[in-house]
A and B are shown apart, each in its own frame.
Chain A
Amino acid sequence: MYQFLYNLIGNEIIAGLLVAVVPLTIILVFALFGIWLERKVSAHMQDRLGPMRTGWHGWLQTVADLMKMLQKEDIIATDADKTLYNIAPVLVFTGSFAVYAVIPFSSKLLGSEVEIGLFYVLAISSLVVAGILMAGWSANNKYSLLGAMRAAAQIISYEIPTALIVLSMVMLTGTLSLDKISQMQTSSFWNWNIFGGAIFSLSKFLLIPFMFVGALIIFISTLAEVNRVPFDIPEAESELVAGYFTEYCGMKWGMFMLAEYGNMFAVSAIISILFFGGYQSPFGYLGNTIGAQWLVPFEQGFWFLAKGLTLVFVQMWLRWTLPRLRVDQLMTVCWKYLIPYAFINLIIIGIISIL
């Protein structure tokens, strides 16, 4: 996409900035839509209607909330550490926004075609941890600090099973590039990695059960990494008010919300790229059938968003299904169950893929 914009405009800086604007727009629109969806999903699961008054079925509710947030007074507690307090929301949002630099939305709409995309995603999300610790410490509030400590411990722990599953997928596909992993799973849903990849052989059938286990483990551990229920102990509202962003208000609080929803979609996108074919259609493309090649990237974008939003919907669904874990249970799940299973899965996938 950068090359296309560069040819169109002829200025490296403007083209680079425009490439960065695209995922920013996607995050903003997704956050508006995602918060509305979260409210509607939770309301309907509890047999309520949710927001109904602002626009059709309340679809303008988040826009109204955003307007309210922008007008709020920016309150900083006297004892807060002002510099770090102001940097922290930006850092958290930067971490979640930077992930989008390598996510391919379709074969034409991808920010950077960097070869080490997956590794980059794992690394750059650690900025979020630093930002959360910064927010929790600088607010000078015990709830904030406790929430930040819990969040950091949780995210670091659950990065290990995520990285192990990602490693097994890298071993299977032989590349770290998210775009290449997507391209490999083309033409039919039977070629997706969750069904053993595109090469038709005995090992494909042997891989299927381990792929299902891998997809499940990475879904659970990424759910914990984005601090969603049932792993939301960093912001457990009955114990810690709001966790690490207790003291924040107005648009700085909004930045944390944006980062949370950005992260939700980012991890869903990563899972869909690793296991569910990324932007590839499960059936083949209408554009190829009727001979309109320009239609294919749009279809790919549609499928990518559909898969991502489905996984986001599952995350919201789980929020109203499962109770919150305790701190010790959370660590038990990670260290005693997910990491050993992920290790065994890694070894078995390694053995099968060299068969």
Chain B
Amino acid sequence: MNRTLSTLALVLAASLSMAQPRTFKVVTDKLEYRNLATVESVTDFETFTGRTPKVTGTLNFDLAKKTGTGNIVVDVASIDTGIALRNDHMRGGQWLDAEKHPTIKFQTTRVAHVSGDKYRVTGQFTMRGVTKTITTDATVKFRKNSAETKAAGFDGDVILLQTAFKVRLSDYGIKIPSQAAGKVSNDVAISVKAYALGN
């Protein structure tokens, strides 16, 4: 009897713990290279992609209810387009202004489960100090701590978050210089892939 009660208590505790939102932190340090934030800009001359692994943030995810909140922060100064001079321009005051606005942020305000690993996420996107509400699709995959996660280099429960969306530069106070008008698209495509470990 006692054994049965203990087992039930354990199952109940496990269920409750699963039902609670859990905090996952985006991996940094030696696993940071696995994260990838990209920004793609289309110009007449070239379609270039800036990229950085410097993504931080926290996800509070309820595995049972399939909902949660979270924030993702991308370090602007580390975005690399493959050409040093262009990096300088992009970080400069006319474009992303990394000195005054060192991060690009996304803070969720509403997360709705769509199906499987797919979610519809609404949140506050901040770039160059301007915040706008955007809605995008995201994929959130969870893997429980196991031999497989360890083999992949993750020490604990791990979440993979992926999302992609487009923003208009002009919405964020970025004015394309007159000499580049018509040659540089006002829209840029942003994507984020980040791994987060459970506490």
Q: Decide whether A and B assemble into one complex.
A: no
On B, residues with C-beta under 8 Å from A are none
